[in-house]
Amino acid sequence: MIRLAIVLFLMCSINARSQQRPGFSIVPEGKEVKVLYNGKLLTAYCFYDSSRKPVLFPVNTVDGITVTRSYPFKMVAGERTDHPHHTGIWLNYESVNGLDFWNNSTAIPVGRRDRYGTIVHKNVKHNTEQGSAYITAEADWVRPDSKVLLNEQTRYRFAVSDNSFFIDRSTTLTATDTTVVFKDVKDGLFAIRVARELELPSKEASKFVDDKGNITNVPPSGNDATGMYYGSTGLKGDAVWGSKGNWVMLTGKKDGIDITIAIFDHPSNPGYPAYWHARGYGLFAVNPLGRKVFSNGKEEMNLTLQPGQSVTFRYRVLVQSGKTPAKADMERIAAAFAKIK
The string of pLDDT tens digits covering residues 78-106 is: 888 999 999 999 999 999 999 999 999 99
Residue 309 belongs to a domain:
yes
Residue 32 belongs to a domain:
no
For residues 198 and 252, the answer to whether their CB atoms sit within 8 Å is yes
Give me the number of domains the chain comprises.
1
Residue 241 belongs to a domain:
yes
Q: Tell me, what's the pLDDT at 10?
A: 41
Residue 72 belongs to a domain:
yes
Q: Range of 212's domain?
A: 59-338
Residue 53 belongs to a domain:
no
Q: Between vectors from CA 72 to CA 241 and to CA 107, what angle results, nearest 5°?
A: 90
Model confidence, pTM: 0.90
Residue 97 belongs to a domain:
yes
Residue 166, Ramachandran bin (φ over 0: left; ψ between -120 and 50: alpha; else beta): beta
- For the stretch 234-272, pLDDT in tens is 999 999 999 999 999 999 999 999 999 999 999 999 999
Q: Tell me, what's the pLDDT at 115?
A: 97
For residues 320 and 259, the answer to whether their CB atoms sit within 8 Å is yes
CA atoms of 296 and 89, how far apart (whole Å): 28
Residue 40 belongs to a domain:
no
Q: Is the pLDDT of residue 218 over 80?
A: no
> Taking the chain, what is the end-to-end CA distance rounded to the nearest angstrom?
60
Q: How confident is the model at residue 19 (pLDDT cuts 50, 70, 90)?
A: very low
Task: Work out the average pLDDT over 299-317.
Answer: 98
Residue 26 belongs to a domain:
no
Q: How confident is the model at residue 232 (pLDDT cuts 50, 70, 90)?
A: very high
Q: How confident is the model at residue 222 (pLDDT cuts 50, 70, 90)?
A: low
For residues 320 and 163, the answer to whether their CB atoms sit within 8 Å is yes
Q: Is the pLDDT of residue 9 over 50?
A: no
